[in-house]
Amino acid sequence: MIKAVLFDLDGTLLNRDESVKMFIQNQYDRLNKWLGHIPKERYIRRFIELDHRGYVWKDKVYQQLVSEFKITDITWEELLQDYLSHFKNHCIAFPNLIRMLAELKTKNLALGLITNGKGQFQMDNIKALGIRDYFQTILISEWEGIKKPDPQLFKRALQQLNVTPNESIFVGDHPDNDIKAAQNIGMKAIWKRDSQWNHAAADEMIDDLGEVSFIIENLN
């Protein structure tokens, strides 16, 4: 019997790829006085390449951009602060996010969220999506001192929700950090398909968040 559903954030609930595109276009426009000597498409493309889908922290990204594009009169630290302050204004959810969470709540399922990343930054994004209050527990790697795929992070979340691994299911997009990590401690795992990976050895697979509730109904 599934009593709890836990989620990853980036690439699962938050459409990070689209959010990054929206943000970096906006940053270029707002800071055009300092960035205008760089062709817009080139700035956007290079940021996305260096960001490596969020796996490179933005201090490194902006240091590289400042060096490559010979950006003067604005520092990489100021560009990073701009990212920290403004990214949350460009958060795009995947379709059916709120409807799915509301459906799970009506079924009396406990909900949790486990994400890697910087604490306040990720919490700002969660709030921007309007989903903070759906979750009974939210674990962010910086604040927890450990990150996925560390099994302790998953175990900690389950303890806080007062459920066992076999009463829980994890929904994520990363084959190792989400799917394999959850299964390693005895949870079932749903893979939200992502074009970056060809395959994940998940118990179930979805293309749309609207499918989660249906899967859990079938399992129960």
DSSP string, 153-215: HHHHHHHHHT--GGGEEEEES-IIIIIIHHHHTT-EEEEE--TT-S----SEEESSGGGHHHH
pTM of this structure: 0.95
What pLDDT digit, counting tens, does each position of 27-44 carry? 999 999 999 999 999 999
State the sign of the Cα–Cα–Cα–Cα dihedral 49, 55, 58, 60: negative
Under a CB-based contact definition with an 8 Å cutoff, are residues 83 and 28 in contact? no
The radius of gyration of the chain from alpha carbons, rounded to an integer in Å, stands at: 19
The four Cα atoms 62, 63, 67, 68 give a dihedral, to 10 degrees, of: -40
Check residue 77 and give its pLDDT. Answer: 98
pLDDT higher than 90, residue 199: no
Mean per-residue pLDDT, 48-67:
95
User: DSSP states of 30-50 as a string?
Assistant: HTHHHHTTS-HHHHHHHHHHH
Higher pLDDT, 54 or 137: 137
pLDDT higher than 90, residue 208: yes
Check residue 82 and give its pLDDT. Answer: 98
Under a CB-based contact definition with an 8 Å cutoff, are residues 104 and 2 in contact? no
What pLDDT digit, counting tens, does each position of 91-115 carry? 999 999 999 999 999 999 999 999 9
Residue 141's CB: how many other CB atoms inside 10 A? 18
